[in-house]
Amino acid sequence: MARAGLTPERLTLAGVELADEVGLDQVTVSALARRFDVKVASLYSHLKSSQDLKTRIALFALEELADRVAAALAGRAGKDALAAFGNAYRDYAREHPGRYAAAQLRLDTETAAASAGVRHAQMTRAILRGYDLPEPDQTHAVRMLGSVFHGYVSLEMAGGFSHTAVDSQQSWEWTLDSLDALLRSQAGS
């Protein structure tokens, strides 16, 4: 009986792909075993549990998304940076719905603290550098931006914007313009 060459990394990667293909909740230890043509129990040498698998997928997605956002932000400021951030977020969700869903999984406190989630928070704050907001307004703005981006992407993915004639892309651009105007009007206040 030849070995399949399983590792936590390969399993995570396969799980990530599976999530985009069939949805995060269809990513199961059993489905993964089928994909590798291996018995389910064999995966437990590499994964602590089904929860462990999900967590690894979430961490992978957070990291990948943070990398993309960082690349998109490089060398940009002000509205450019705002749009780059939002677009990176939205594009990732559209290209990789399963990964995006995984990135929203609730992690326990210590795992979250060690995750790329921290980079996300830092980058959101970095966008605001161009707008010169004093504290605590800066924190308020970070929260509002996070809310808008996360909310918009979630609702759009859930199909919430597909029952009106108005193009979602237009609404997205209007939203980015509005946020920029809002932040500029708050600058230095």
Partner DNA sequence: CCAATTTGCCTAAGTGACTTAGGCAAATGC
Partner DNA sequence: GCATTTGCCTAAGTCACTTAGGCAAATTGG
Transcribe 111-122 into DSSP letters: HHHTSTHHHHHH
185 forms part of the interface with a copy of itself (CB under 8 A) = yes
Q: What is the DSSP string of 54-69?
A: HHHHHHHHHHHHHHHH
Query: In the bound complex, what is the minimum distance in angstroms from residue 15's beta carbon to DNA?
Result: 11
In angstroms, the CA 5 to CA 1 distance is: 12
Provide, rounded to whole angstroms, the least separation between the CB of residue 151 and a copy of itself: 3
User: How near is the Cβ of 160 to a copy of itself at its closest, in Å?
Assistant: 7
Tokens of 129: 């550098």
CA distance 100 to 104: 7
Q: Which of the stretches 29-37, 76-84, 90-98, 132-140 binds DNA when contact is defined by CB under 7 A?
A: 29-37
Total residues contacting a copy of itself (rule CB under 8 A)? 34
**Binding site partner of 51, from a copy of itself, DNA, none, Cβ cut-off 5-8 A by kind:** DNA
Q: Decide if 123 contacts 177 (C-beta within 8 A).
A: no
Residues 127-166 that bind a copy of itself (CB under 8 A): 135-137, 139-140, 143-144, 146-152, 154-155, 158-161, 164, 166
Only one residue has tokens 């996300």, namely: 120
Site of tokens 């609730």: 106
Binding residues for DNA (CB under 7 A): 1-7, 28-31, 38-42, 44-46, 48-51
